[in-house]
Each structure stands twice: as structure tokens, then as C-alpha cells.
Chain A
Amino acid sequence: MSGEAGRAILIEGIEKAFGKTRILKGVCLNLREGEFLSLVGPSGCGKTTLLRIIAGLESADAGSVRIGGKDVTQLRAADRDIAMVFQNYALYPHLSVAQNLAVPLVMRRLSSLERVPLLRHLVPGHAQRRSAINAQVQQAAEMLRLGHLLHRRPAELSGGQRQRVALGRALVRQPSAFLMDEPLSNLDAELRAGTRREIVELHRRAGVTTIYVTHDQVEAMTMSDRVAVMMEGELLQLGTPREVYENPADLRVAGFLGSPRINTLPVCSAPDGIRLGALLLPLQAEVAPGAELTLGLRPEALHLAAEGLAVQIEHLEFLGAEVLLHARLAAPDARLTARLPIAVAAQLQRGDAVHLRADWSAALLFGADGARIASSASELRLNA
């Protein structure tokens, strides 16, 4: 199972509408062989629909899907050589774990006559094919630590075990791509972290191209080679987890990734630079004077300082190693969140007036349409 590279996937111009609602608006995506890509976005952004279109469970109104260079747009799901892990696992409840794992192999390798009880023994070569299937099931079960559960029914398994059976059913026949639709959303937090690692590990060993749909940014950021952020049926950005976090192309991407949420402040461009209210910011950007802009500052880009933005502390959240400081900026009226080391924040109290200094090299600037505007920190001191 190891070392077998998955296929590249190329998705072009996928359009889909249900009635008059446009769910997907020309989505393009390309995956390299063996890549792990997360499709992330809020619920209702069309990511599951896109996944079902790639799987062949749904047909697109326009666009094409190519797997390993072959156009599969017109092929039905069973012929696309794709395996999928469903959110609710979709295990066959009347079959044992071993039978569930065997289904993809039985369906593909045994003729319909061979699947009929009693008659199967009349078909020549049946015993060999059957034992080959059993061996593969055994192998997949060992890999997923399901060996001792093979005779149980899904109802007798825990959520995590069911999840592993669903994974096993997907990888037992070594498909050219895996599609996973929020496979961890039904697990509790602790199990989720463990299974996350397990899936990454399985992917590394099997090397199968994987598309992983999730609304959980932590899953997307920690597991993927690349992250595709979708919103309202559009692909907003595709990049490594670090790229999309540090260099978001759109205000919506910046707002979706990162917890706590990125701080946004209304700023405008004046002839002499970018101003936050009356304050001239040490930022340079190529914008026409008078434009309304949005300044994005991640909570970790704000530090406690003797001078800077004057704020009043509204709320402190103790997280162990660090403290989240929620504060109100007087002019313009806005809320800011800062992530501070515990040592710095130990003495702070609710209601204190403090100053926050921004790391301007990490500041992000967005236009009125939400698109990113290139900016850089200037040497100018903050004239506060």
C-alpha cells in the first residue's frame, strides 16, 4: 500500500446551481499527485457540493474534472476510482466490520453470480479471489488497529472505531484519490486531535491524493499540504497553510482563518499616508487618496507598550501560557484583541488604560471590495 502515488486532480470551471441559487461559481482547483488538500469554508459555501461533484455523486452544470489526466466528468461515481469517507461514515449497518471493509473489493472483483450465496461455489476461481480479498481486508484492518473488531457490527463500535472502519473501507482498494467529507465532525475534541494525526500518517504512508472538506480551520491548517478557502461558491485562495494565514488575498479569508479573529479597523488613505482616524500610520501603500480601506491586525501582532494605540481593557481571557486581552479603542470606536504572553499580562486588570503597539510589518490592508492591497511598513514613527 505504501509508496503508491495517487493521481493528480484537475478541476476546471465547475458551475452548479440548485434552482436559482448558484452554489458553485466557476471553481478551479489543481492537485498534485499525492497531495493533501483541504477545502475549507463556512457551512453553505459549496465545499461539500464540490466534493460530491468530484466524486461523481452530483453532476456539474459546467466545467470538467480530470483525474490522472483522464477526463472523468461524464463517468459515473463507480467508474472514477475514487474512495470517499462520509461525515456519518455511511457504514452498512447490517454487515460486520470485515464485511464492510470487503464491500469495495467484492463489488469490483466478484461477478454478480459470485455474490449470490450458495451459487458462488460453482464459479471457478472463486476461492482464490475470496481469499485474496480476505487477506487485503486483514491487512487494512491491521493498519487501522481494527483486527480485534472484525466480527462486530457498526452499532457495537465507538465513534472513533466507526471512523476508522470508514477510513479502512476507503483505502482497502487503493483508489487513486480519497475524498473526505468532514470525517472528524462527529468525534469529541480529544479523539479528533488523535484521529487528525492518524489520517495524516495514513496519507503519508499510502500517498494517495486527498481532498479533505472541513469547516474547521484547525484541521485544515494542521493536516494539509495546501488549503483552499471557499466562500459563497467561490474559491478565494489556494496556498500552503502559512501562506493563507500570513498572506490572505481577501478580507474574508483573513477573517475566516485564525482564532481569535483578526482585528479589523476602518482606515482611509490621505495624501500623506494611511490614517486611522486622525492618526497617521507607518504604512505605505499604492492607493488613491480618499479611499476607504480596512486594516487587519492579527492578535499576535499587537504588543503591550508604553506608547501606541490607547485602549481600555474590557475583558481578559486566561489561556494558560498566554492571555487574550479584549480592549476598546477610543477613536475610532473599535474593539481590539491582543494575544499576550502571561508574564507581560499578569498585572493587568479590567478597566486599565494601556497602550498597544502594532507590528506594522505584519499589518494587512484591504480595499473596499475586500481584496488585499500590498503594503509595507514605513520608517515613520507613530505620531501618537
Chain B
Amino acid sequence: MRDSAALAGAAPATRASRGIGEAAAAWVLCAPAGLALFALLLGPSAALLVLSFSDWELGAPELAWIGLGNYVELTTDPVFRIALRNTLIYVGVVMPASIGLGLGVALLVEGGSRLRATFRAIYFLPVVSLLVAMATAWQYLLHPTIGPVNRLLALLGISPINWLGSSDWVMVSLCMIGVWENLGFVVVLFMAGLTAIPRELYAAAELDGARSAMDRFRLVTWPLLGPTTLFVVTITAIRCLRVFDTVQALTRGGPNNASQVLLHAMYQEGFSYFRIGYSAAITVVFLAIVLLLMLVQTRILDRRVHYS
């Protein structure tokens, strides 16, 4: 009787110790990946966050903790304010424009019967080409005196515009280049999404009485493109937020900070003025915007999208 009681008591104990062993093994097995994740992704972000609370300058022998000092400075810094405003304008213009145009182009190309691959390659060209190199071409195109764009305008009787040199026009120019840069990417993604829609659904829609192209678009294309659209919106938003190379290559934030954007301001503070702490604070703001965007995407948009 006592033996059986002991046995009965022993069994759960063994099970429990096996449970602990299993848990330990799981932690050990996860450790390499966990460490890599921390060292390569979370660690640098944490370091960045810590640095943003300091006044460290590159090469300075010591640093002081100034708490939210950098962030307080941001609120009064006119350059940062322009950079933030310009970045949001850039995202607000380039993202919808390139997605709208991209969807239109993708529908046209996919609806046509031939040259699909050719068009795809042409539209994708800006994505695979080196943007800094292409910026040179843009600089020529938009040059105030010898640029073909202004010459074309002159033919129409419009006086020349200083595309990259005037603070009124520089953001317009950058946004146009941004659309040009993102359009191909969006087109290729939408074309992939369109080819995945079963042809039979369009036949069914036609028989169900969807007479106009708009009817079929609303009944079939748009809902079935949902996952693609969500992906395109997220990727394009992040690509737009990260705008940097065109600014650096063409305007360096000028004239008079009129084309300053977040990442370029960050770059200047960190790599020209060596104010690492302050530039870290700008980066934290940038990351916060990206995170907010992803939150909106997963919490709100994701729920309205149908995944087959």
C-alpha cells in the first residue's frame, strides 16, 4: 500500500522534472537565434535609444546624460521641423501617386495581350538601376538653363523653372522623382497580384451581369488584390519615409533647408556635425513613425483584407 502510494507520488514528480528538462532544452535551442536577434537587431536599436538621451559627439572623450534634452531641442529646431514636414509631405504625395499610377499601369499592361514582359522590364528599370547614377540624369533633365524639361516648357511659352534650386519647386521635383522611382516597383508587384486572380472569376462576373470594367474591378480585382495592396502600401510607405539618396545627390537638403528630410537631417547631424546623440534622437523619431505605420497596417488594414 505504501509502495503504491510512493509510486503514485513519484510519477508526477518525474513528469514535472521532465517538463523542466524540456523547457531548459527549448531555451538552450532557442539561445543562438535569440542572441543573434538581440546582437544584430534589438541591441543596436536599444543602443540608439540610450544614445539619444546623451550629448555624445563622435570622438568626444566623455558624454553627459541629458535626459530628454535632445527631444526638447527637436521641438524647437526649425530644421527638424522642416525635415519632418517635408518627409510627411513626401510620403503623402509619392505613396498615393505611385500606388494609384502603378495600379493603373499594371491593369493596362496586364489587360493588353502582348509585350507584357517588355513593359514589366521597362517599368522595373528605375528600381534596379543605381539611384545615385540616375540622379545625374535627373540633374541634367531638370537643369534650369540646359535642361530638356525647361526647353520643352519654353516651347509651350512657359518661363523656365529652377526645379532643384528654388525652395518653391524643390519638393515638387523630389516628389516627381520619387514617383518615377517607386512606380516600377509598384507596377511589378501589382502585376504579380493580378496574374494570381483566377480568370474564371472574371467570366463568372461577366455572366453575373458585371457589364462595365468598373463593375468587374469593384467585384473581383480590387478585393482580390487586397493582400497585394496592403503589402504595396506598407513597402511604399517605408520606402518613401526612407527618402535620402535623391536628396543627398541632388540638393543636400537645400536650398536653405527647403528639401530637408528626416534621414538627411539625421545624416547631417550625425556625420557632418558629429552630434551622435542628437542624430540618434532623430532616428528614434523616424523609427517611431515606422512602428506607428506598421501598427496601423496590422491592426486596421489587415482586418479588412481578404486572404484566400
Closest Cβ of chain B: how far from A234's Cβ, in Å? 25
Within B211-231, which residues are at the interface with A (CB < 8 Å)?
211-212, 214-215, 218-220, 223-224, 226
Contact residue among A55, A90, A94 (Cβ-Cβ distance under 8 Å from B306): A94
A343: min CB distance to chain B, Å: 50
Q: Residue A103 contacts which of B200, B208, B212, B226 (CB distance < 8 angstroms)? A: B208
Chain A's closest residue to B223 (CB) is A94
Of B204, B210, B220, which contacts A84 at CB under 8 A? B204
Bitwise, A175-214 to B at CB < 8 A (1) or not (0) is: 0000000000000000000000000000000000000000
Given known contacts A92-B223, A94-B224, A115 and B218 CB-to-CB distance under 8 angstroms: yes
Check B207 against A93 for contact (C-beta < 8 Å). Answer: no
Q: Give the CA-CA distance A62 to B187 in the complex, in Å.
A: 38
Chain A CB within 8 A of B37 CB: no
The residue that B214 contacts in the complex, of A86, A88, A112, with Cβ under 8 A, is A112
Residue A169, interface by CB 8 Å: yes
Q: Is the interface of B mostly helix, strand, loop or mixed?
A: helix
A77 CA to B206 CA, complexed, in Å: 6
Complex formed: what's the CA distance from A318 to B205 in Å? 48
State in angstroms the CA–CA spacing of A76 and B196 once bound together: 25
Indicate whether A305 reaches chain B with its CB closer than 8 angstroms: no
Closest partner residue, chain A, to B201 (CB atom): A90
Any A CB within 8 A of the CB of B129: no
Q: Report whether A78 and B207 are in contact in the complex, using a CB–CB cutoff of 8 Å.
A: yes
Given contacts A82-B207, A112-B215, contact A88 B198 (CB under 8 A): yes
Q: Tell whether A107 pairs with B198 under 8 Å between CB atoms, given A112-B215, A115-B218, A155-B308.
A: no
Contact A107–B215 (Cβ < 8 Å): yes
User: Which B190-208 residues have C-beta < 8 A from chain A?
Assistant: 198, 200-201, 203-208
Please give the number of chain B residues whose Cβ is less than 8 angstroms from any Cβ of chain A in the complex. Answer: 23
Q: Measured between alpha carbons, how far is A15 from B226 in the docked complex, in Å?
A: 40
Which of B200, B208, B209 is within 8 Å of A88, CB to CB? B200
CB-defined contacts of B226 to chain A, threshold 8 Å: 94
- Report B218 CB to chain A, min CB distance, Å: 7
Given A92-B223, A93-B224, A112-B214, A86 and B200 touching (CB < 8 A)? yes
Using known A-B contacts A104-B209, A107-B209, determine if residue A90 contacts B215 with beta carbons closer than 8 Å.
Answer: no
Alpha-carbon distance between A104 and B209 when the two chains are bound, in angstroms: 6
A78 contacts B210, C-beta separation under 8 Å: yes
Please measure, in the bound complex, the distance between the C-alpha atom of A88 and the C-alpha atom of B206, giving whole angstroms: 16
Give A55 to B203 CA distance when docked, in angstroms. 9
B203 touches A78 (CB 8 A): no
Cβ–Cβ contact A90 & B203, under 8 A: yes
- Kindly state the separation between the CA atoms of A146 and B157 in the bound complex, as whole angstroms: 68
Considering residues A83, A91, A104, which has the most beta carbons from chain B within 10 angstroms of its beta carbon?
A104
Determine if A148 is an interface residue (Cβ-Cβ < 8 Å): no
**B207–A77 contact, CB under 8 A?**
yes
* A112 to B219 CA separation, bound complex (whole angstroms): 12
B61 shortest CB reach to chain A, Å? 62
Task: Find the A residue at minimum CB distance from B212.
Answer: A112
When distances are taken between beta carbons in the complex, the residues of chain A under 8 Å from B206 are 56-57, 76-78
Contact residues in B for A87 (Cβ distance below 8 Å) = 200
A103 to B205, CA, bound (A): 8
How far is A153 from B203 in the complex, measured between Cα atoms in Å? 20
Q: How far is the CA of A299 from the CA of B208 in the complex (A)?
A: 46
Q: Which residues of A lie under 8 Å from residue B204 when comparing CB positions?
A: 84, 86, 90-92, 169
In the bound complex, residues from chain B placing their C-beta under 8 Å from that of A52 are: 203
Chain B residues near A20: list those with CB within 8 A.
Answer: none
Cα distance A94–B219 when bound, in Å?
A: 10
Task: Verify B219–A108 contact, CB threshold 8 A.
Answer: no
0/1 per residue, B169-204, Cβ < 8 Å to A?
A: 000000000000000000000000000001011011
Residue contact B198 to A90, C-beta cutoff 8 Å = yes
Chain A CB within 10 Å, residue with most, of B200, B204, B205, B219: B204
What are 7 sample pairs from A and B whose C-beta atoms fall under 8 A apart?
Answer: A91-B204, A92-B223, A93-B308, A94-B308, A107-B210, A112-B212, A112-B215
Contacts A57-B206, A83-B207 known; 16 new A-B pairs at CB < 8 A: A56-B206, A57-B207, A78-B208, A82-B207, A86-B200, A86-B204, A88-B198, A90-B198, A92-B201, A92-B220, A94-B224, A94-B308, A107-B209, A107-B210, A107-B215, A115-B218
